[in-house]
């Protein structure tokens, strides 16, 4: 009898499915909103550093939310935190869609930054509740490991977010900015109504109020893993958020090779494909790593992050010799190398998502997941800021040099975790 039919708590399993579906639709809207904002304001002529600023509050408030989300879900429950996250996202989408605004004004920029920040809060409330639900509600048995469940749910979420990237580009080409936001708001509202109607009661062991200081972990493995996660995601976002889309937009529209709208669709297809393939790789990571994971999963993570360092280093060297003007040969090399990067990055990300749950006892899983994703958001905040700054000072070459440097730091802290002697765990 497989794990699905043998699972005794059907209500909790139904809740896990509904939470996962909600997370998917939420990430669809999140990915679409990111591309809408980035490409619309690039089209209006804003500089790379300004485009990076649009996402800084999003990442900063996401970091703060992760810091408190474990505490909140520990005291108020997964369902309330999930509902709060989706409600905030719906409010942000409707406000930006329905409030008249001259989007080239300084006031509009402030409004976008503030509501992007609100969306960051919403995203990470939803993320923490969803990731905690895996540990608390997933049917773990001999034929359904914690690693496999984590990989499937995390990977599928990222594939859906990739579809959101394309959806955002598609909506921007065929609808205006505000109508695109309205469509996203209506989709998420319909989901939310269905979620409330179908969500069963969830039996959680809610404790008496926990002090916020308890969010900080005393387990050195959690702290080292979180630090490695910070540099891992910073290394991706330093080129992914601003540098790559702007480079591709410049390359595709050079000498009027493509119109701006066509270029946006191509960028959307590539970035969506990258995220979707990244998500698929995350989902199958347990099969790829099955033989390697029998001894020391942290040692496996150390090896895979070492492989990753060489890819942005290769791109930075090729970019330096290519010069400042985009060329077809370099662009093709860039795309191929970044697809390979996505494969190795997905394996590393999947390993991290598994390790945080493996290292966390059930009574602290909400707190540890929140702390860990606070570090994840801090990495994205740093990466986002450095993406615009690096592109201003050194173009794509500088973005890739910074990326390789951050990956080396991710390897360093993973290596410290291996050397600590506490990284060997029984695989669940």
Q: Contact at 8 Å (CB) between 396 and 250?
A: no
Q: What is the pLDDT of residue 293?
A: 65
Q: Locate 233 and state its tokens.
A: 């995601």
Q: Which residue has the tokens 């999930």?
A: 82
Q: Can you tell me the distance from the alpha carbon of 126 to that of 149, in angstroms, rounded to the nearest whole number?
A: 18
Could you tell me the end-to-end alpha-carbon distance of the chain, in angstroms, rounded to an integer?
19
Distance (Å, whole) CA 12 – CA 39:
40
- Residue-level pLDDT at 413: 92
List Cα–Cα distances, 358 to 289, 297, 322, 364, 368, in angstroms: 16, 10, 44, 11, 11
Give SS3 for 427.
coil
Domains of the chain, CATH where assigned: 9-201+213-419 (1.20.1250.20)
Residue 23, pLDDT score? 82
CA gap 93, 180 in Å, rounded: 9
Could you give the C-alpha distances from 112 to 37, 100, 159, 273, in angstroms and in order?
A: 8, 13, 26, 27
Distance, in Å, from the CA atom of 336 to the CA atom of 425, rounded to the nearest integer, reads 36
d(CA 64, CA 59): 9
Q: Cα–Cα distance between 375 and 371 in angstroms, integer?
A: 7
Tell me, what's the pLDDT at 196? 84
Give yes or no for a contact between 349 and 282, defined as CB atoms under 8 angstroms apart: yes
In the three-class reduction of DSSP (H, G, I as helix; E, B as strand; rest coil), residue 326 is classed as coil
**66 contacts 374 by C-beta, under 8 angstroms:** yes
Contact residues for 241 (Cβ-Cβ < 8 A; gap 6+): 38, 52, 55, 383, 384, 387, 388
* Confidence (pLDDT) at 1: 43
Closest CA to 348 of 425, 400, 288, 421: 288
**pTM of the shown model:** 0.77
Per-residue pLDDT of the chain (428 residues; tens, 9 = 90+): 444 444 445 766 777 778 778 888 888 898 899 889 888 888 888 887 788 888 888 888 888 887 776 666 666 777 788 888 899 999 999 998 888 878 778 888 888 899 988 998 888 888 777 766 666 666 555 444 666 666 777 677 778 888 888 899 889 888 888 999 999 999 999 988 888 887 776 665 545 455 555 555 667 888 888 899 999 999 999 998 888 988 888 888 877 678 878 888 888 888 888 988 888 888 888 788 777 766 677 788 888 999 999 999 999 999 888 877 778 889 889 999 999 999 999 999 888 888 887 777 666 666 777 778 788 888 988 998 898 889 888 888 999 999 999 999 999 998 888 777 554 444 44
The radius of gyration computed from the CA coordinates of the chain, to the nearest angstrom, equals 21
Secondary structure in 3-state letters for 34-90: HHHHHHHHHHCCCCHHHHHHHHHHHHHHHHHHHHHHHHHHHHHCHHHHHHHHHHHHH
In this structure, what token pair is assigned to residue 398? 């500088």
Residue with tokens 């329905």: 98
The DSSP secondary-structure symbol of 360 reads: S
How much is the pLDDT for 294?
Answer: 66
User: Comparing C-alpha atoms, which of 249, 335, 253, 251 is closest to residue 42?
Assistant: 249
- How far apart are alpha carbons 305 and 347 in whole angstroms? 9
pLDDT for res 409: 95
pLDDT (0 to 100) of residue 322: 81
Phi/psi of residue 141, each to 5°? -150, -175
164 within 8 A of 30, measured Cβ to Cβ: yes
């Amino acid at each position: 009898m497989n794990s699905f039919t043998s699972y005794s708590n059907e209500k909790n399993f139904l809740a896990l499915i509904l939470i996962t579906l909600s997370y998917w639709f939420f990430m669809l809207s999140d990915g679409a909103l990111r591309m809408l904002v980035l490409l619309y304001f690039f089209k209006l002529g804003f500089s790379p550093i300004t485009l990076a600023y649009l996402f800084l509050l999003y990442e900063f408030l996401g970091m703060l939310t992760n810091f408190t989300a474990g505490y909140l879900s520990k005291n108020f429950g997964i369902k309330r935190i999930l509902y709060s996250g989706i409600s905030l996202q719906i409010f942000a989408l409707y406000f930006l869609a329905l409030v008249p605004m001259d989007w080239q004004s300084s006031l509009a920029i402030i409004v976008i930054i503030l509501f992007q920040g609100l969306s960051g809060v919403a995203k990470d409330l939803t993320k923490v509740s969803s990731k905690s639900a895996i540990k608390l509600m997933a049917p773990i048995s001999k034929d359904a490991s914690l690693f496999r469940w984590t990989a499937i749910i995390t990977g599928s979420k990222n594939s859906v977010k990739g579809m959101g990237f394309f959806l955002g580009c598609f909506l921007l080409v065929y609808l205006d900015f505000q109508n695109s936001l309205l469509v996203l708001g209506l989709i998420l509202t319909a989901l939310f109504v269905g979620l409330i109607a179908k969500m069963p009661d969830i039996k959680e062991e809610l404790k008496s109020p926990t002090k916020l200081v308890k969010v900080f972990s005393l387990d050195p493995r959690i702290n080292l893993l979180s630090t490695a996660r910070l540099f891992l995601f910073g290394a991706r976002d330093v080129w992914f958020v601003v540098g790559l889309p702007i480079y591709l937009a410049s390359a595709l529209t050079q000498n009027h090779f493509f119109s701006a709208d066509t270029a946006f669709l191509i960028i959307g297809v590539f970035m969506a494909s990258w995220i979707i393939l990244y998500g698929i790789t995350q989902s199958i990571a347990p099969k790829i790593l099955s033989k390697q994971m029998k001894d020391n999963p942290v040692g496996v993570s150390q090896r895979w992050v070492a492989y990753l360092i060489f890819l942005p280093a290769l791109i930075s060297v090729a970019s330096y010799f290519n010069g400042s003007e985009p060329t077809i040969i370099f662009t093709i090399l860039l795309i191929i190398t970044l697809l390979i990067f996505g494969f190795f990055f997905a394996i590393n990300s999947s390993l991290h998502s598994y390790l945080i749950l493996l290292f966390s006892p059930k009574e602290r899983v909400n707190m540890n997941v929140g702390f860990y994703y606070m570090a994840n958001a801090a990495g994205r905040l740093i990466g986002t800021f450095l993406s615009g700054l690096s592109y201003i000072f050194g173009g794509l070459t500088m973005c890739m040099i910074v990326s390789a440097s951050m990956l080396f730091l991710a390897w360093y802290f993973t290596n410290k975790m291996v050397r600590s002697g506490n990284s060997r765990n029984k695989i669940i």
